[in-house]
């Protein structure tokens, strides 16, 4: 064979082998990326919740579910039919006092505002649900606020907050208290606020920790 042709053939052979290696490496890389794409996001999602106990998810899911119901068109219509359309947030606060009686008896304990109003009684949970529902049905922004023991994520006390005059205002309908967020510090469980007691506010589709608003450094 002509030496020049032989050299050219050798070069072509080497180039072919190089391209084969490159294509093989690219195929491996593409395979690994594909596997990572389908596997890693699921693994990552699990890691995002692994830092929180299952009881915390149950706790937040429960109150998010209540708020979803309170914000539903059907529930708003049912509650609005029982309200004077001219009522403002303070009127609704007074209105509820004529509709419910505070009781420690948990028999017939409902978490739907229509059922609560039909029963005419409840503890802090029921009072707060009805108040928030009445505000939402009247077009006002309102949310449930829950103090919880982080040892078991059970509720300790429940109240409401209204978006009133450009800020969230504390409203405790079962205790007939308006805008006194530091009052719980004198309660037995209030001494644990910020430590083993956390406070969360729930809206439709979201929640946030508001513990600092009820602690000793709250302004």
The domain spanning residue 93 has which CATH number? Answer: 3.10.620.30
Residues 113, 126, single domain; the answer is yes
Q: Number of structural domains, the chain? A: 2
Residues 45, 83, single domain; the answer is no
pLDDT at position 24 is 59
> Is position 219 within any domain?
no
pLDDT at position 7 is 43
Confidence of residue 215 (pLDDT cuts 50, 70, 90): confident
Decide if pLDDT at 38 tops 70: no
Residues 45, 58, single domain; the answer is no
Least confident span in 25-39, 85-99, 133-147, 161-175: 25-39
State the DSSP H helix or E strand holding residue 35, giving kind and residue range, or none if neither: helix 3-50
> Is position 147 within any domain?
yes
Cβ atoms < 10 Å from Cβ of 93: 21
pTM passes above 0.95:
no
Residues 63, 30, single domain; the answer is no
CA–CA dist 94, 131 (Å, integer): 10
**Extended beta strands in the chain, E state:** 101-102, 121-122, 142-149, 154-164, 167-172, 177-178, 197-203, 206-209
CA–CA dist 32, 26 (Å, integer): 10
pLDDT at position 148 is 97
Section 126-154 average pLDDT: 97
Confidence of residue 106 (pLDDT cuts 50, 70, 90): confident
Query: Residue 3's domain spans which residues?
Result: 1-51
For residues 80 and 137, the answer to whether their CB atoms sit within 8 Å is yes
pLDDT at position 4 is 43
pLDDT at position 53 is 85
CA–CA dist 90, 145 (Å, integer): 18
């Amino acid at each position: 064979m002509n030496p020049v042709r032989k050299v050219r053939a050798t070069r072509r052979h080497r180039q072919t082998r190089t391209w084969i290696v490159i294509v093989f490496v690219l195929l491996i890389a593409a395979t690994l990326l594909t596997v990572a794409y389908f596997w890693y996001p699921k693994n990552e999602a699990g890691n995002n919740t692994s830092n929180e106990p299952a009881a915390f998810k149950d706790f937040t899911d429960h109150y998010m579910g209540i708020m979803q119901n309170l914000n539903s068109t059907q529930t708003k219509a049912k509650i609005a039919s029982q309200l004077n359309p001219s009522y403002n947030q303070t009127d609704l606060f007074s209105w509820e006092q004529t509709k419910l009686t505070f009781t420690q008896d948990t028999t017939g304990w409902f978490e739907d505002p229509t059922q609560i109003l039909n029963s005419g009684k409840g503890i802090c949970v029921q009072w707060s649900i009805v108040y928030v529902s009445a505000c939402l049905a009247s077009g006002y922004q309102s949310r449930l606020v829950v103090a919880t023991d982080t040892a078991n994520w059970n509720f300790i006390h429940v109240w409401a907050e209204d978006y009133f005059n450009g800020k969230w205002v504390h409203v405790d309908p079962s205790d007939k208290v308006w805008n006194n967020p530091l009052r719980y510090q004198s309660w037995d469980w209030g001494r644990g606020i910020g430590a083993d007691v956390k406070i969360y506010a729930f809206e439709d589709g979201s929640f946030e920790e508001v513990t600092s608003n009820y602690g000793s450094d709250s302004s």
